[in-house]
Structure 1
Amino acid sequence: MAELLAPAGNTEALDAAIKEGADAVYLGLKSFNARIRSTNFAWSQFEAAVETLHRRGKKIFVTVNTVLQESETERMYRFLAYLNRIGPDGLIVQDLGVLNMAHTHFPLLRLHGSTQLNIASARGVNALSRSGVSRVVLARELGLNEVREIKMRTSCELEVFVHGALCVSESGLCLFSSFLGGKSANRGMCAQACRRMYSAQTSAGEKKGYFFSPHDLQLIDFIPDLVQAGVNSFKIEGRMKSAEYVGTVVSAYRYVLDNWEADKKTALETAKRILANDFARPKTRYWYDSPRAENILNPSQAGGTGIFLGNIARIKKSGESVLALLGNGGGYTPDTGDSIRLHKNDDSARESWKIKSVATEGKECWIDIPEGFGTGDSVYLMQTKSMSKHYPHVLPKDLSPYRAQPLDEQLPSLKLRLPEAVSQKGTKGGKAKMTKPSDGLFPEGLYIQVSSREDFFLILMHRPIRVIAELNTDTEAFLLGLSDDQKPADKPPFSKKEIIVFLDPYVPQASEDGLSSTIDLLVENGYTQFIVNNPAHIGMLRNRGLSLIAGPYLYTFNRWAVDWLNSQDIFSVVSPYENSKDNLYEAIDSSWRQNVFVTVFAYPPLFRMRFELPESYGSSVFSDRQSGQFFSVSGPGGSFVLPSVPFSIIDRAVSLNHAGFTRHVLDISRARLQKKEFRAIIEAYHKGNPLPESTRFNWKDGFFDPDRAEEHRQMKQRAEDAAAGKKTAPGKRTAMGKKTSAKRPGREKDGSGNNTTRGTAAPRGKNSAQGKPQGRGKSPVRGKTPGAKKR
């Protein structure tokens, strides 16, 4: 029987999920989970939950679905040992290193591949299954027929999201939040950049809207089809949601699962009436409507959840209270005790509020609101007083028999080190030593990444060691020497030995066979070097005598992940875009650095979407209040959103060489550079000069650390004040969030520049060394996945 899996972001949500009929819950502890902002469970609560739910015949899964830095591997080992002792029913895992560590040392732990692994095809599922994964949570960007086909091609259990919030980016591939300030979605710290208000520059002037905020997923109509397709688990998103929300949604899906066979029409109608009270965003069926739903995005709908009550028409004071008159609402009259959320009309602030007083004067309705809001601001109903329920507690009141202290303080020291060598994985002690491939597999020097045939000819002025060619509809025909108009086809001005084919990280089932056929053609035509970015690629290319490189989207942040790739016959890696200098140097020891490619320049895709942005937007240039400008690049296969300034550490090339990282990637894909701009970048690289308009991304500061947030804020403020000639006493609080229009470049210890703040979009000058991504004419895009009609 199919499993109904509910979120439990706190004990109240756990109570609601179990009372309303969930078969299983998934939850996070205080570390290593992708909802770091939810309450999560204390150790004692978790242990009590495992024991209590197992007594009731329910299951409990633990999220360990973030990427792992090298400095955290020892703590992760102890964490896995703890989970192995407590005995949850499964671990939801993203990092390939965690997968490797758990499968090797704790084989009794049942492993589930997280949706953050971006698995959207049968080959991807099967690749993980061979490494000990018993269930895969499929990427959300799939349709019903694709899910059916995956199930027919694998014996692995499948879990599918059926309700809740969507990411605008393809699963696990969003870099936007990380780019803005190190708050990586792959570390559970998503800052919800897609929910922000943006300004679009159109021919008719500026237009504001929530251009990247998707509706919520609701697949209640497809539950019978998914049951018949053999899906094993139906997952509800919402570890940040209230107990009332969890209870409402669980009860609706429970009703359909229990009653659709007897009376499908009545079951669905009843469930939809229940779901009308979930007080979330408008709904979409996403890719389950063929070819996909048109109502994924609505720029006029604010990025948050709730039912729109109206805009504030007037404000008045009544004693100590601020009263607001609601106008142009949806017909619901709020009541005392209802929960609302207020949005500033410029999206500068949002606040939740419980209504204490309601006054009606004729047709007018006045409610009390917090200070700081005014005419034109929006009000949303989050929950009615009548919705509030008190569910019976699942956990016992007395938690004293269970562990009540954090793991590091309470668990006995295991004194276990990581394995000494790959051949000693089954032993305890030591550090993982990465298998060393034959020297000279890839020569040292500069590699240039391109995404169009024009790029191939542009880079001839500085011929690189190798060209990294992104595979899309444009480059596929070019690489294979094909022509659509019976004329002699252009061919790359490089030999096939000089070209490395870069495979797109998103591999949907609809395109899997076409991509596999294209790869076969490339191999038959003499291409032997590939960068793989998805486990599905490994299934297509392994054991064929080819030279494979793990791309940046396989997230090799730790040596355990590299070790897993070694087991798949992959002995070179491209460091992730999000990586920091400190983590890279710690994760990769000197004996293996000749096998690592470091990207020194790129316009990293911040959003990667399977669909095209609507033409009605009328613009490819977007900006927000906080972070400057961004550019969208759309085509028949999907869309990217790129920063207006590139990531660059080209002035660090000499330092990287001295440290043993002698293979550098200059990624100009989608940039549409002119010759002058490209020449300036190459000159800066060879002279070791910083680019005047660029960002370090996470290279210097690393991921945001919530435990050190105030310390980092004060350090940053002192550095900015010092650059501006001000004096700030250590520890003195200063205004947060202010931007300086003219920041002097900071300096690293070796004297190199650190120009703009991470993620800050500096303005472009006419003589900028780098080009605008949207630039000259139609930008090259990923296009349809090669060999397939649709992505």
Structure 2
Amino acid sequence: MTREATPDLPMILSPAGDRDSFLAAIAAEADAIYCGLKAFSARMEADNFSITELAALTSLAHDRNIRVYVALNNEIKPDEMEKAFHLVERLARDVLPDALIVQDPAFVSLARQVDYAGELHLSTLANLSFPEGLAVAGKLGFSRVVMPRELDVDALRLMAAACPEGMNLEAFVHGALCYAVSGRCYWSSYLGGKSGLRGRCVQPCRRLYRKKKGAAEAGRYFSMQDLSLDVLTKVLGVIPEVGCWKIEGRKKGPHYVHYTTTAYRMLRDERDILGRKKDALALLDMALGRPSMHYRFLPHRPWHPVSSEGETGSGFLLGRVKGGAKELFIVPRIPLLAGDLIRIGYEGEGGHLLVRVRRSIPKGGKFHLKADRGKRPGAGAAAFLVDRREPELMAQIQGLAQELETMETPEPRPGTRQLVLPRPFKKSGAPRDMFLGRKSGSAGGRGQETALWVDPERPAKVAPGAVAHIWWWLDPVIWPESSENWKKAIEGLLRRGARRFVLNAPWQMGFFDKKEGLELWAGPFCNVANPLAVGVMGDLGFSGVFASPELSGEDFLAFAAGSPLPVGAVLSGCWPLAISRVGVLEPGEGMISPMDEKLWGRKYGENQWLFPDWQYDIREKRAELERAGYRYFVHMEEILPKGMELRRRPGLWNWNLRLL
């Protein structure tokens, strides 16, 4: 059975983290399905797929004219390049996905080397967030760019107007929101070695924080509600360059996938038919996500996405735990079906439980809880319905599963091609220290390099003769509304003689029409972590690259050994846990983590930077880095809020860890 394509309408792109969710997306008549493998996926906590499983599922989807996109949106470490190469080779040979969704530039090189014939889509984790960057992505071969969730409809129009021929945009319409801008969160990695850029985020932003040390009251001050554009997709649907509506949720079950896919297909195809809009909204209400809102989509009516006092847990709130020492139960607000999955409380807190319903319970009935002594929830704990297996949906999935069994799959075969790595750069010259500050005169000294953050609103007052000798650092996140100001600021610096810049997103190369006579380095926020990615940076015109500071010590050394360009490293300073467009902290205000770590923030332009109360510091490893060939060592300076004191504690980050 095939389904007709709808080329003039935006595609509905559905998530799938396991087989049943994939089949639920097919049953809901998605236009495309995105999923990950058991390696190199930004949702490593999902079940994900093997090559053999995915080959059969892709054939089943293709028989119905449904596209399949494979998310390889993970940061590759130096010792993983060979593994990633053969994985892409097997995908291109055995699975034939319609697109690869990537953030690491190394995958551009890998796709070329295996002659991959499908499309390349740039993940939102790559943070292409301003119009001038789209042309740079086009030069690398990307035909679609996934937009940040923080863009309002006016900003999306600005991005659409800058789309090169042959490129379209993908916009999120539903699903979870992160406090940090995608690709600009190091929180989970900094506090525990589990990197969000590698799909291992432990979601520290969802935890309880206190505003004062010793305070009894705590709130979820960074925990975001879900995005749901629902009826506002009518506004989005008239932007032709937005060719795809994306539903987030690769860790969700088939119920969520089927309900959200069906709802957005109804809103797209039948929004003007009486009653269908109401039916679609009802489906979204029961999709088992978090409380939802429109976020920033309407610029004149933005929603604040954090509600520290409300329930922000995923799932439908059924009620609260009742009873005492002898009996614990919930009285559900809706009927419970056999097979339903209920979460009690929140992950990471005492008494957290996942309970499977064994028999149906009517609305208003009693569902009794059994728990070990150490996992006993307290009275008043919230109970959420987080997954449901309706008989009708499961019957459809079972029918598709039987058809899946008949699909021919390729015999597993190892890769046969040879990975080609770039030729390493010959290291030479004595290393230099670079002091990076926010104000002129605050960084650098005799025998040292001076670096300043560019501020389009308040240009630095620097003597004309000094402009050419300063390293000018661009912000890690630039939004469409301010890109024109950034362009003017950079042009002004160039007229004054500036020649050395550090770009903190590869796409910022779009601000430089002429590169002759300039020294342009890819900054540490570019998240470059392997020599293949450095080679792609060289293709774009970069002169050198700063390594991602979240690497382990072993990775730092291997990165330099194989790099085809000169390399630098951040050696010490205030590195942010996260960069966000959501203002949570007032000036001078701090937050206390569950581990008594103090967090503080600074607002720069449109973004809030969130810092811990201790510095990143690998100065003791300097000799090893020098022997490896690092050329520049950066020291990042920040102006501390009044009364803030940094703690003395090791700041090695992941140096002694195996980065996950």
**Which TM-score applies when normalising by structure 2?**
0.89
Q: Where does residue 339 of structure 1 map in the other structure? A: 341
Q: Distance in 1 between matches of 2:92 and 2:304?
A: 44
1:259 to partner: Cα distance: 1.1
Q: Where does residue 493 of structure 2 map in the other structure? A: 522
Tell me, yes or no, if the aligned pair for 1:629 and 1:644 is still in contact at 8 Å.
Answer: yes
Q: Where does residue 222 of structure 2 map in the other structure? A: 212
Cα-to-partner distance string for 1:124-178 (whole Å, 9 max, x where unaligned) = 2221111111111111111111112211221311111110011111111110111
Q: Where does residue 540 of structure 2 map in the other structure? A: 568
* Secondary structure in structure 1 of the residue aligned to 2:369: strand
1:333 to partner: Cα distance: 6.8
Instruction: Give 1:82-161 correspondences, 5 Å limit.
Output: 82-86=90-94, 87-154=96-163, 155=165, 156-161=167-172
Q: Distance in 2 between matches of 1:344 and 1:417?
A: 45
Q: Distance in 1 between matches of 2:641 and 2:93?
A: 54
Q: Where does residue 317 of structure 2 map in the other structure? A: 308
Q: Distance in 2 between matches of 1:590 and 1:23?
A: 41
Tell me whether 1:179 sits opposite 2:160 in the alignment: no
Q: Where does residue 394 of structure 1 map in the other structure? A: 400
Tell me, yes or no, if the aligned pair for 1:358 and 1:367 is still in contact at 8 Å.
Answer: no
1:38 to partner: Cα distance: 0.7
Q: Where does residue 726 of structure 1 map in the other structure? A: none
Tell me, yes or no, if the aligned pair for 2:336 and 2:361 is still in contact at 8 Å.
Answer: no
Q: Where does residue 448 of structure 1 map in the other structure? A: 435
Supply the AA of the counterpart residue of 1:477.
R
* Secondary structure in structure 2 of the residue aligned to 1:208: coil
Supply the AA of the counterpart residue of 1:432.
P
Among 8, 31, 46, the residue aligned to 1:38: 46
1:182 to partner: Cα distance: 1.4
Q: Where does residue 787 of structure 1 map in the other structure? A: none
* Secondary structure in structure 2 of the residue aligned to 1:247: helix
Tell me, yes or no, if the aligned pair for 1:175 and 1:605 is still in contact at 8 Å.
Answer: yes
Q: Distance in 2 between matches of 1:309 and 1:12?
A: 24
* Secondary structure in structure 2 of the residue aligned to 1:254: helix
Q: Distance in 1 between matches of 2:334 and 2:615?
A: 47
Q: Distance in 1 between matches of 2:360 and 2:487?
A: 63
Tell me, yes or no, if the aligned pair for 1:201 and 1:207 is still in contact at 8 Å.
Answer: no
Cα-to-partner distance string for 1:543-584 (whole Å, 9 max, x where unaligned) = 233210100121221111111111112121111121222112
Cα-to-partner distance string for 1:494-520 (whole Å, 9 max, x where unaligned) = 922331111112122111112111111
Q: Where does residue 597 of structure 2 map in the other structure? A: 628
Q: Distance in 2 between matches of 1:345 and 1:298?
A: 18
Tell me, yes or no, if the aligned pair for 1:577 and 1:604 is still in contact at 8 Å.
Answer: no
Supply the AA of the counterpart residue of 1:354.
R
1:347 to partner: Cα distance: 2.7
1:403 to partner: Cα distance: 4.3
1:71 to partner: Cα distance: 0.9
Tell me whether 1:695 sits opposite 2:647 in the alignment: no
Among 235, 254, 258, the residue aligned to 2:246: 235
* Secondary structure in structure 2 of the residue aligned to 1:655: helix
Tell me, yes or no, if the aligned pair for 1:34 and 1:186 is still in contact at 8 Å.
Answer: yes
Report the number of matched residues: 641
Larger radius of gyration: 1
Supply the AA of the counterpart residue of 1:604.
W
Do the aligned partners of residues 627 and 493 (structure 1) sit closer, same or farther apart at CA in structure 2, a change above 3 Å counting? farther
Cα-to-partner distance string for 1:430-466 (whole Å, 9 max, x where unaligned) = x3214669x77xx73211111235xx34x46x54621
Instruction: Give 1:242-281 correspondences, 5 Å limit.
Output: 242-260=253-271, 262-263=272-273, 266-281=275-290
**Which TM-score applies when normalising by structure 1?**
0.75
* Secondary structure in structure 1 of the residue aligned to 2:324: strand
Tell me, yes or no, if the aligned pair for 2:21 and 2:253 is still in contact at 8 Å.
Answer: yes
Tell me whether 1:661 sits opposite 2:633 in the alignment: no
Q: Distance in 2 between matches of 1:357 and 1:270?
A: 28
Do the aligned partners of residues 271 and 519 (structure 1) sit closer, same or farther apart at CA in structure 2, a change above 3 Å counting? same
Q: Distance in 2 between matches of 1:470 and 1:104?
A: 37
* Secondary structure in structure 1 of the residue aligned to 2:482: helix
Cα-to-partner distance string for 1:270-319 (whole Å, 9 max, x where unaligned) = 311221111211112112021562330011234431233343343243xx
Tell me whether 1:167 sits opposite 2:178 in the alignment: yes
Q: Where does residue 233 of structure 2 map in the other structure? A: 223
Supply the AA of the counterpart residue of 1:700.
N
Q: Where does residue 608 of structure 2 map in the other structure? A: 639
* Secondary structure in structure 2 of the residue aligned to 1:120: coil
Q: Distance in 2 between matches of 1:444 and 1:220?
A: 54
Q: Where does residue 379 of structure 2 map in the other structure? A: 375
1:402 to partner: Cα distance: 2.1
Tell me whether 1:465 sits opposite 2:451 in the alignment: no
* Secondary structure in structure 1 of the residue aligned to 2:502: strand
Among 51, 61, 65, the residue aligned to 2:59: 51
1:113 to partner: Cα distance: 0.6
* Secondary structure in structure 1 of the residue aligned to 2:490: helix
1:103 to partner: Cα distance: 3.1
1:191 to partner: Cα distance: 0.7
Tell me whether 1:552 sits opposite 2:518 in the alignment: no
Tell me whether 1:286 sits opposite 2:295 in the alignment: yes
Tell me, yes or no, if the aligned pair for 1:215 and 1:295 is still in contact at 8 Å.
Answer: no
Do the aligned partners of residues 388 and 280 (structure 1) sit closer, same or farther apart at CA in structure 2, a change above 3 Å counting? farther
Supply the AA of the counterpart residue of 1:28.
G
Q: Distance in 1 between matches of 2:282 and 2:61?
A: 29
Do the aligned partners of residues 384 and 64 (structure 1) sit closer, same or farther apart at CA in structure 2, a change above 3 Å counting? closer
Q: Where does residue 3 of structure 2 map in the other structure? A: none
Tell me, yes or no, if the aligned pair for 2:291 and 2:312 is still in contact at 8 Å.
Answer: no
Q: Where does residue 511 of structure 1 map in the other structure? A: 482
Tell me, yes or no, if the aligned pair for 1:23 and 1:58 is still in contact at 8 Å.
Answer: yes
Identity over aligned residues, as a percent? 25
Tell me whether 1:477 sits opposite 2:458 in the alignment: yes
Q: Where does residue 5 of structure 2 map in the other structure? A: none
Tell me, yes or no, if the aligned pair for 1:53 and 1:59 is still in contact at 8 Å.
Answer: yes
- Per mean C-alpha deviation after superposition, the further-off stretch among 637-646 and 364-373 is 364-373
Do the aligned partners of residues 46 and 143 (structure 1) sit closer, same or farther apart at CA in structure 2, a change above 3 Å counting? same
* Secondary structure in structure 2 of the residue aligned to 1:588: helix
1:530 to partner: Cα distance: 0.8
Tell me whether 1:579 sits opposite 2:581 in the alignment: no
Among 429, 432, 456, the residue aligned to 2:422: 432
Supply the AA of the counterpart residue of 1:241.
K
- Per mean C-alpha deviation after superposition, the further-off stretch among 159-168 and 531-540 is 531-540
Supply the AA of the counterpart residue of 1:642.
F
Q: Distance in 2 between matches of 1:638 and 1:4?
A: 31
Tell me, yes or no, if the aligned pair for 1:338 and 1:381 is still in contact at 8 Å.
Answer: yes
* Secondary structure in structure 2 of the residue aligned to 1:183: coil
Cα-to-partner distance string for 1:197-224 (whole Å, 9 max, x where unaligned) = 112218x955301111111111122222
Do the aligned partners of residues 240 and 492 (structure 1) sit closer, same or farther apart at CA in structure 2, a change above 3 Å counting? farther
Q: Distance in 2 between matches of 1:337 and 1:96?
A: 43
Do the aligned partners of residues 504 and 56 (structure 1) sit closer, same or farther apart at CA in structure 2, a change above 3 Å counting? same
Q: Distance in 2 between matches of 1:276 and 1:387?
A: 19
- Per mean C-alpha deviation after superposition, the further-off stretch among 535-544 and 627-636 is 627-636
Tell me, yes or no, if the aligned pair for 2:13 and 2:33 is still in contact at 8 Å.
Answer: yes
1:614 to partner: Cα distance: 6.3
* Secondary structure in structure 2 of the residue aligned to 1:241: coil
Q: Distance in 2 between matches of 1:635 and 1:660?
A: 33
Q: Where does residue 723 of structure 1 map in the other structure? A: none
Tell me, yes or no, if the aligned pair for 2:474 and 2:502 is still in contact at 8 Å.
Answer: yes
Q: Where does residue 4 of structure 2 map in the other structure? A: none
Do the aligned partners of residues 619 and 250 (structure 1) sit closer, same or farther apart at CA in structure 2, a change above 3 Å counting? farther
1:32 to partner: Cα distance: 0.9
Q: Distance in 2 between matches of 1:344 and 1:130?
A: 45
Do the aligned partners of residues 105 and 588 (structure 1) sit closer, same or farther apart at CA in structure 2, a change above 3 Å counting? farther
Tell me, yes or no, if the aligned pair for 2:25 and 2:257 is still in contact at 8 Å.
Answer: yes
Q: Distance in 2 between matches of 1:627 and 1:55?
A: 55
